[in-house]
Amino acid sequence: MSFQQTLSSAGVDISSIESSIETRSFQTGDYIIRQAEFNKNIYKLTEGLIKLVYLTSAGATYTKSFIDTGGIFASMTCTLAGEPARFSAVCLTPVTVEFLPSFKFRELTENDPEMLRFSNQMFRRLALRNEEREYDFLCLSAVERYEKFLNNSPGLAQRLTQIEIAAYLGITPVSLSRIRGSRAGAA
């Protein structure tokens, strides 16, 4: 579903922004957003799969989340705080996105009550997802996080490498291999 279709289905009058929505394609491994750079666009993933990753000063990477076809994403530090992005958005497959400058998104939100409702729902879902992710890391074991990932995202688990899954779970690939081995032995 396109940006236009998504917003229109929410009752938003998109006539003021329609000409500002652009489409771009990326290849596997390309960056849509780069950590430490400025990117003030709101993206709608119309095809493909990306991961949002943090890179530490020591060179380690941690996966924040995965965005599948239909997902909307942006760097909140760029779009809301005017600071550089804290994460990168990396294509795991060939990707097509539609994007809109955040100031256009904000203008529409300020002028259209349906857009304000849509935006509020989007931010509520984001806040709930972030709280759940935080809880998972602080309160669940690596085994429990893996089980939850498999139960909640079985299709996604089939499309990712073990390295990508381990980075998402916050464990090493070796630890994931051990968890998988113990699950296979218990079955």
38-52 residue pLDDT tens? 999 999 999 999 999
Query: Per-domain residue ranges for the chain?
Result: 3-139, 140-187
What pLDDT score does 187 carry? 60
Write out pLDDT tens, residues 52-64: 999 999 998 899 9
Residue at token pair 């002028």: 111
The pLDDT value recorded for residue 91 is: 98
143-184 pLDDT, tens digit per residue, is 999 999 999 999 999 999 999 999 999 999 999 999 998 877
Tokens 């530090």 sit on residue: 77
pLDDT of residue 27: 99
d(CA 133, CA 43): 22
The tens digit of pLDDT for each residue in 94-145 reads 999 999 999 998 999 999 999 899 999 999 999 999 999 999 999 999 999 9
Domain 3-139, CATH number (from 2.60.120.10, 3.40.630.30, 1.10.3720.10, 3.40.50.460):
2.60.120.10
